[in-house]
């Protein structure tokens, strides 16, 4: 079984400031990692994913994340945020075994609020 902990439930920042949303995971098996964003009254949209290879993953909208296996972390970063980045962000993990399907385990979410 896997679990995900998002260390901050709310992150307020000013526009054009850098931001980091923290995610730690726990798993006894090899995993894939994801970050999703949810805007109000909408479903989830994939920002980026780590499957294998380079530990620095670049996603949409200028976001990137770094996979750190020793610290079991997958923190999301953006060097300069915009008002439009205000949303809830979810870190998710899944078993990478081919036969395990695509069941995702999500963290509790981090509400990012970008202030002018």
Partner 1 sequence: KAGVTQTPRYLIKTRGQQVTLSCSPISGHRSVSWYQQTPGQGLQFLFEYFSETQRNKGNFPGRFSGRQFSNSRSEMNVSTLELGDSALYLCASSLEARASYEQYFGPGTRLTVT
User: Does 116 contact partner 1 by CB under 8 A?
Assistant: no
Write the DSSP assignment of 45-71 as a string of letters. Answer: EEEEEE-SS-SEEE-GGG-EEEEETTT
Among 28, 41, 54, 70, which residue interacts with partner 1 (rule: CB under 8 A)? 41
User: Does 111 contact partner 1 by CB under 8 A?
Assistant: no
User: Does 10 contact partner 1 by CB under 8 A?
Assistant: no
- Cβ neighbors of 99 (< 8 A, separation 6 or more) are none
Q: How far apart are CA 35 and CA 64, in angstroms?
A: 10
User: Does 54 contact partner 1 by CB under 8 A?
Assistant: no
Of 45 and 68, which CB lies nearer to partner 1 in the complex structure?
A: 45
């Amino acid at each position: 079984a896997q679990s995900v902990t998002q260390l901050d439930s709310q992150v307020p920042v000013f526009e054009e400031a850098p931001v980091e949303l923290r995610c730690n995971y726990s798993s006894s098996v090899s995993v894939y990692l994801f970050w999703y964003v949810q805007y109000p009254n909408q479903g989830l949209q994939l920002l980026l994913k780590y499957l294998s290879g380079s530990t620095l993953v670049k996603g949409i909208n200028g976001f990137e994340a770094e996979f750190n296996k020793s610290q079991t972390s997958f923190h999301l970063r953006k060097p300069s945020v915009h008002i439009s980045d205000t949303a809830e962000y979810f870190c998710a993990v899944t078993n990478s075994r081919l036969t395990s399907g695509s069941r995702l385990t999500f963290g509790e979410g981090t509400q990012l609020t970008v202030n002018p």
